[in-house]
């Protein structure tokens, strides 16, 4: 198996069809794991959407050095160490003096063992937040619901007027937050406490198996 940098467009079928979020994300770097000519997985890195996250990890001085490992997708029948191999090799291919943050979603039953295996630091759970939801459409991603009122001055009021009681708030499941550094100087600026790794049962989410997807399928 080998890891190669790829065009971000090659990840789109994986992110839209296989990853549980079924959404694209900001991508500055993309890498794929190959076994022969078969792509077995992808990982992407990009600028975090949250400005408070970018400025809070190591201070505003390093905000532009913070990137997020925002998608990691591996075929179900890939070798056991495929995910950690892809992550570890891709980290070495990123620029120096960067802070990489990633999250393991507790709502999906994820602990973040792949990050523990690749020497990320554990810094606790994400902040408590609420999400907008629509009754009968709980499968919609929170960003998809919020996008319905994009451009409206008072989006919350508009949603309530349009959907009535079907629009409601729900506490967002907190996520395990992991951090990795590609340079010692920025590592010393970490603002979060380093905590022991969490443990517990981890589960895979159900998703369409892309199988032996080859490069020619991406056109």
Q: Which of 64-73, 104-113, 170-179 has the highest mean pLDDT?
A: 64-73
CB 66 within 8 A of CB 180: no
pLDDT at 203: 55
Confidence of residue 207 (pLDDT cuts 50, 70, 90): very low
Superfamily of domain 2-128+173-218: Gcn5-related N-acetyltransferase (GNAT) (3.40.630.30)
* pLDDT at residue 53 is higher than 60: yes
CA distance 92 to 32: 14
* Residue of 158 and 27 predicted with greater confidence: 27
Mean pLDDT of the chain: 86
Confidence of residue 107 (pLDDT cuts 50, 70, 90): confident
Task: Give the mean pLDDT of 44-70.
Answer: 94
User: Which residues lie closer than 8 Å to 6 by C-beta, 6 or more apart?
Assistant: 30, 31, 32, 42
* pLDDT at residue 204 is higher than 60: no
Confidence of residue 147 (pLDDT cuts 50, 70, 90): confident
| Range list of β-strands (E), 8-51 | 29-35, 38-46
Confidence of residue 19 (pLDDT cuts 50, 70, 90): confident
The ranges assigned to domains in the chain are: 2-128+173-218, 130-171
Q: Measured at the alpha carbon of residue 115, what is the angle toward residues 112 and 117, in degrees to the nearest 5?
A: 110
pLDDT over 90 for what percent of the chain?
A: 55
């Amino acid at each position: 198996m080998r890891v190669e940098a790829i065009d971000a467009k090659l990840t789109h079928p994986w992110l839209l069809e296989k990853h549980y979020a079924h959404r694209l994300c900001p991508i500055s770097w993309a890498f794929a794991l190959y076994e022969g000519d078969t792509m077995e997985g992808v990982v992407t890195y990009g600028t975090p959407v949250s400005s408070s996250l970018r400025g809070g990890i190591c201070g505003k001085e390093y905000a532009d050095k913070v990137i997020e490992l925002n998608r990691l997708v591996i075929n179900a029948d890939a070798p056991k160490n495929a995910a950690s191999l892809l992550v570890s090799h891709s980290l070495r291919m990123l620029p120096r003096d960067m802070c990489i943050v990633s999250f393991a979603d507790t709502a999906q039953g994820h602990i973040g063992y792949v990050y523990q295996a690749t020497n990320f630091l554990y810094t606790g759970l994400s902040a408590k937040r609420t999400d907008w939801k629509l009754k009968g459409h709980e499968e919609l991603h929170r960003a998809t619901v919020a996008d319905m009122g994009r451009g409206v001055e008072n989006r919350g009021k508009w949603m309530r007027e349009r959907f009535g009681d079907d629009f409601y708030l729900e506490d967002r499941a907190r996520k395990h937050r992991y951090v990795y550094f590609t340079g010692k100087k920025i590592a010393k600026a970490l603002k979060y406490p380093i905590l022991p790794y969490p443990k517990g049962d981890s589960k895979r989410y159900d998703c369409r198996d892309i199988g032996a997807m080859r490069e020619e399928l991406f056109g």
